Amino acid sequence: MEEKVSVIIPTMNRLDDLKNCIESIYSSDYKNIEVIVVDNASTSETKEHIKALYQNKHNFKLIENSKNVGAGAGRNIGAKVATGDFLLFIDDDNITSSQMIGNLLSFFLREVNCCMVGPLMLYKKNRNMIWLYYADINMYSSRAFYKGTGEEDVKQYPEIIEVGHLPNCFMVKKEDFFAINGFDEKFFIMYEESDLSERLKRHTKKKIYINSKAVVYHNIKLPNEVEGYELIGFKNKTRAFLVARNRVYFMKKNANFLQLMIFLLIYLPVITFYYEFLLIKNKSFELAIEYLKGTIKGLFY
């Protein structure tokens, strides 16, 4: 009997993206799935459209939150009603290739040393350009490393690669997910996926992989379309605060003692000074204040 995969999609006011994502999942070659949409208090119009389109499908569930609980909490809520043994978490601004779910699952079933697997992630706007092939975080500096971003996909990299963490789209075993109590909801958004990856590796003593036979298309800006403070994740004051707070909180949770001391005593002051200097130089005083507040909050969070 085929393993059942529960696909969990947190969403908020992105109706067109969400519809495209759901349709791509239902077009999958792998059919033993259920789709669980967790709506973080979208407008009534968004929810009514989704209900009208999908509520009569036997393998579709819509959870309506009364407020925006964040990405991690939304995924946790979806996981609690999932009936599959495997959970596929995917953001609503993605389109899956028809073989993605099947390829991720088959790799998981044959690779006994795997605790999480994700697809090669390409840009939806340019399906020959890589968004993400490799991701990791330096546990001394907190710096994130990515590989392949912005490159043309000409199959220049190995099909399978071990990575440090996975954002955006990934599959885990439900029993492993609940064994570590799912996502840490204190992150709200940003770093919650990296934190889950680190805790999952420690709990299972296994590894995280990208299987590039599985492909997803991410509907975000191309590299040449990103400008200003979006380059460093500062879309607004809330983001500036969360980037700073969650960076420190992530390191406190996941770095060992030596790594954490080096981060707190050396890298954190340098990083904070750099961003504060950059923001003040460009007269973004509100962002500078929020970033500093987030850093301080993270130390005591």
135-147 per-position pLDDT tens digit: 999 999 999 999 9
Q: State pLDDT tens for residues 77-136.
A: 999 999 999 999 999 999 999 999 999 999 999 999 999 999 999 999 999 999 999 999
CA distances from 179 to 32, 46, 134 (A): 24, 34, 26
pLDDT (0 to 100) of residue 235: 76
Q: Which of 54-58, 79-83, 85-89, 204-208 has the lowest mean pLDDT?
A: 54-58
pLDDT (0 to 100) of residue 58: 84
Q: Band of the pLDDT at 224, cuts 50, 70, 90?
A: confident
Taking residues 285-293, what's their average pLDDT?
94
Q: State pLDDT tens for residues 184-198.
A: 999 999 999 999 999
Are 38 and 26 a contacting pair, CB within 8 Å?
Answer: no
- What is the largest distance, in Å, between two alpha-carbon atoms of the chain? 61
Taking residues 249-276, what's their average pLDDT?
97
Tokens 């979006």 label which residue?
230
Q: Which amino acid is at 82?
A: A
Task: List the one residue out of 93, 26, 84, 90 whose CA is nearest residue 53.
Answer: 26
How far apart CA 20 and CA 38 sit, in angstroms, is 16
Of all residues in the chain, the percent with pLDDT exceeding 70 is 98
Q: Band of the pLDDT at 231, cuts 50, 70, 90?
A: low
CA distances from 193 to 27, 188, 262 (A): 26, 11, 23
What does the DSSP 8-state code read for residue 232?
G
Residue 203 has pLDDT above 70, yes or no: yes
Q: Which amino acid is at 78?
A: G
Taking residues 258-283, what's their average pLDDT?
95
